[in-house]
Chains A and B, each alone.
Chain A
């Protein structure tokens, strides 16, 4: 009853007059929108013209710094025109110049890179970056952190440390990368305290940063026992990349971790750090795991196993899953001449298995 009354009321309001007004309003809005867009485009075009100018000036400055011939002492001043010094007050130019300097610094090492840093500090650009750190916009904060990091301004390290566990993901990531940039492996200490997860993307970034540095033996085992699963996974990656053989038993414990991704990472880790007993441990846990982990175990055995594992692998050739058969056959074929020979007996079991064996042999020949 109420609904019908409501409808009748709405019918009353949807008179011709009201609708006419509505259409007028919308048409006006359209015209306004169009005019706004035209004006915006005009101003943007103007801005872009300035930008090309600024880029030229920035390029010149960067080149001056990179190819500075004389001795670069702390007091040395790279010649900068008065005009440029004034332009630094202009936000657009400053941003452009900073971007170019940071980009150059990222791609170059050695004295040239030092010169860029020198110019950056000479022009006092870090002052602005520090100001931006206090911005309430997370993306501006994060960009400022990245700038300080790439310019290797280690003196601001303590200001950046609290950001490593900031609630905004981007700020967190940039701060963590900055700490590693400043302190190398020791910069990873933030892993002790962080409560948020470290995403895969971030882990890749950190590992990449570390790969440019000489490896340092830091204590990784406490991270292997961390309550933060992502920290455990990252620690396993470190163990793997840096061949930390002494942590073999700690990694073994991770094979029983409740999180499947941790277990998978641990299995993969063993491809790089193993003893003659590792394969026994892997095989003993084989039937507890799902297919994905089982395949990972077989792949690990391919790298670390010996011909002693072949009896186990040969039984897998009877398994229903064809991917498992393929992985097992491959592992057997690569284990040695005896393994390769034993495969020949299986060729007659079924056509598909025969195809697998042919492919695996073909891979060895290639």
Chain B
């Protein structure tokens, strides 16, 4: 056997191993997520959430909404936050050194005045310039904080310092929430009698092309543009399948900062958000889980499949690239910070399953795939066309498409947000197009993210928002 054959065969075997583990992963996710989602829907089909809205014992919640240059829509968004169904709530909007007129707009619209507010600096942050409350009784739940720019993590930490309630709900201020979102997010914390629920996550849905009025979702449409449409599919896969499956195993590592709730006591004990990473939401949850494992206390991270939060997805390749690049760097930073847990039995599921999965598939996946393409091309050039690998890659693609179709099926069977048959066909088409158009781009952004990480880039990039003023007028067809 010459070394060429060894490399050739070795490469084939690695690809086989990768494909095989990917298939088994998909199958497991399919089975677990179906069970967990069905369980949730059955349990909550006749639950009266409104009961919690009017209960005196309901857990006290602080909604944290960091904002930076969101002047375009901030008034509407804050109003919709204030009209959420919940009694025991305070809404803290943190103005992270905006350079536009966000703060002035807020002061005017909500009749704000500066208060003498003692801030208990449990977590060190950048300086706070002022804490504002409203003179109008109707807006008594609102607190607006003005601070020196420090990034999202820093803004959240300021909110935590100011908060007087027991639970935190972090949201992106331009996300559109359903009326009962807080009620549904609060329930998991009250249901477990023997374990402590430290965090609960929710599903993010794509709001592009949907009608949004006054900070509320009025009508749902499948996004018209290709990129948001394919991200719709991707989000359904990620949230309805993958995260529900992980929740069943109690191995969930990521709750999106755009919509998640946390037990404040644990967050503070862990030291709050890490402002040296761009993936602060994942990093915090991993740190919280690690803390509970080290304390040897039984705990759970919950996840809710109901569509409660709608966000705008990047519609251009440029913004998408920046976003995926950032996500990759965040993943790497988190994995690096907690590498002690890798295959460490002391951390149970966290160390034995979750962390290795993220290391091999989320972080390693793009790398292996790129190497796969690269090696395949090299072999072709050298003249040894590796048909086995070619077919393995084809089968990986078709499995991927099958998995996407399964995700669409799950969506139809459960929440069915897109009711027309035409939408189903569009999603299916997009599922087929994905491996050829979208996926390579995402992989490319991830690889770029790896390089950028190595070059130590630490910023958020500049993402221009289309804003929800871009409303779609639909004629009945």
Please measure, in the bound complex, the distance between the C-alpha atom of A10 and the C-alpha atom of B424, giving whole angstroms: 38
Contact of B116 with A by CB under 8 A:
yes
What per-residue 1/0 map shows which CB atoms of B90-128 lie under 8 Å from chain A?
000000000000000000000000011110111000000
Please measure, in the bound complex, the distance between the C-alpha atom of A19 and the C-alpha atom of B401, giving whole angstroms: 17
The interface stretch among B141-149, B170-178, B189-197, B335-343 is B189-197
The interface stretch among A30-38, A50-58, A69-77, A274-282 is A30-38
Given the known interface contacts A19-B388, A41-B424, A362-B115, the answer about A207 and B13 at a Cβ–Cβ threshold of 8 Å is no
What per-residue 1/0 map shows which CB atoms of A320-363 lie under 8 Å from chain B?
00110010000000000000000000000000100110110010
Please measure, in the bound complex, the distance between the C-alpha atom of A57 and the C-alpha atom of B387, giving whole angstroms: 64
Nearest CB on A from B232, distance (A): 16
What per-residue 1/0 map shows which CB atoms of B382-411 lie under 8 Å from chain A?
000001100110110011011001101100
CB of B194 within 8 A of CB of A197, answer: yes
Closest chain B residue to A15, Cβ basis = B388
CB of B388 within 8 A of CB of A199, answer: no
Please measure, in the bound complex, the distance between the C-alpha atom of A322 and the C-alpha atom of B398, giving whole angstroms: 59
A-B contact count (CB 8 A): 121
Contact of A205 with B by CB under 8 A:
yes
Please measure, in the bound complex, the distance between the C-alpha atom of A322 and the C-alpha atom of B388, giving whole angstroms: 66
CB of A197 within 8 A of CB of B118, answer: no
Contact of B224 with A by CB under 8 A:
no
Nearest CB on B from A308, distance (A): 26
CB of A33 within 8 A of CB of B421, answer: no
Closest chain A residue to B42, Cβ basis = A139
Nearest CB on A from B116, distance (A): 5
The interface stretch among A20-28, A113-121, A246-254 is A20-28
Residues of A within 8 Å of B412, CB to CB, are 37, 40-41
Residues of B within 8 Å of A198, CB to CB, are 193
Please measure, in the bound complex, the distance between the C-alpha atom of A130 and the C-alpha atom of B13, giving whole angstroms: 60
The interface on chain A, measured as residues whose beta carbon lies within 8 A of the other chain's beta carbons, has a size of 53
CB of B116 within 8 A of CB of A355, answer: yes
Nearest CB on A from B134, distance (A): 12
Interface residues of B in 15-59 (CB under 8 A from A): 16, 42-43, 45-46, 51-52, 54-55, 57-58
Nearest CB on B from A190, distance (A): 16
Contact of A208 with B by CB under 8 A:
yes
Closest chain B residue to A174, Cβ basis = B46
B120 contact from A139, A196, A199, A326, Cβ within 8 A: A326
A23 contact from B16, B394, B424, Cβ within 8 A: B394
Contact of A2 with B by CB under 8 A:
no
Contact of B165 with A by CB under 8 A:
no
Given the known interface contacts A7-B13, A14-B388, A23-B394, the answer about A205 and B51 at a Cβ–Cβ threshold of 8 Å is yes
8 smallest CB-CB distances across A and B, nearest first, come from: A197-B193, A19-B391, A139-B42, A200-B190, A201-B190, A26-B398, A359-B118, A355-B118
22 A-B pairs (CB sep. < 8 Å):
A10-B13, A11-B13, A14-B388, A14-B392, A16-B388, A16-B391, A19-B394, A20-B391, A33-B402, A33-B405, A36-B409, A40-B412, A41-B421, A139-B45, A143-B46, A196-B193, A200-B191, A200-B193, A208-B51, A322-B118, A326-B120, A362-B116
The residues of B with any CB-CB pair to A shorter than 8 Å are 9, 12-13, 16, 42-43, 45-46, 51-52, 54-55, 57-58, 115-118, 120-122, 187, 189-194, 265, 387-388, 391-392, 394-395, 398-399, 401-402, 405-406, 408-409, 412-413, 416, 419, 421, 424, 428
